[in-house]
Amino acid sequence: MSDKYSIRDILTPLALTIIIDNKVRDPELSEFIVQAEGLLDLLVPDNEMDSEKIIAWFRDNEADLTKRIKSSRKNTFVLTTLTRFKDDDIAVEAMYDAMLAISISDKEYHVDESGLIKSAAALWGYTRPPFKVTGKH
């Protein structure tokens, strides 16, 4: 695969999917690790990130990402983060699937989280998300 993505490129959109709703839940963190391992193996040659290093990366970057997602430049930050994958169909599909898996892992609907997924879908050329995520009834 391509060697054009850094660890940060891969993990940031996944982390944002957790952080954007202002609540970090265990199911989301567990799914973050699973999805991160798969994406890193797929997109980063010679990947040496295991689950402990992935969760450590999240903890080390959580405060900065939270600050950036709450700043007045939130939209620019999200756009920059997501456009990193725009011209790579394999990366786009894998990243979208991973973000969706994280977003539904806690079985709760969050407007900001849904907005992030919809933004990614629109940016990456999906006319509508392939799955419909619904909240609790």
pLDDT score recorded for residue 3: 60
Q: Which domain holds residue 21?
A: 12-123
pLDDT score recorded for residue 2: 44
pLDDT score recorded for residue 137: 43
Give domain status of residue 78, yes or no: yes
Q: pLDDT category, 119, cuts 50, 70, 90?
A: confident
At 49-107, the pLDDT tens digits run: 999 999 999 999 999 999 999 999 999 999 999 999 888 889 999 999 999 999 888 77
pLDDT score recorded for residue 128: 56
Give domain status of residue 119, yes or no: yes
Sign of dihedral through CA atoms 5, 40, 75, 130?
Answer: positive
Q: How far is CA 5 from CA 8, 73, 119, in A?
A: 8, 23, 21
Give domain status of residue 137, yes or no: no
Q: d(Cα 4, Cα 64) in Å, to the nearest integer? A: 23
Contact of 134 with 122, CB cutoff 8 Å: no
- Please determine, for residue 126, whether its predicted confidence score (pLDDT) is greater than 90: no
Please indicate whether residue 134 or residue 70 has the higher confidence score (pLDDT): 70
Q: How far is CA 134 from CA 42, 48, 92, 110, 131, in A?
A: 29, 36, 23, 10, 9
Give domain status of residue 42, yes or no: yes
Please indicate whether residue 38 or residue 115 has the higher confidence score (pLDDT): 38
Q: pLDDT category, 133, cuts 50, 70, 90?
A: low
How many domains is the chain partitioned into structurally? 1
> Where is 23: in which H helix or E strand?
none
At 16-53, the pLDDT tens digits run: 999 987 777 888 999 999 999 999 999 998 899 999 99
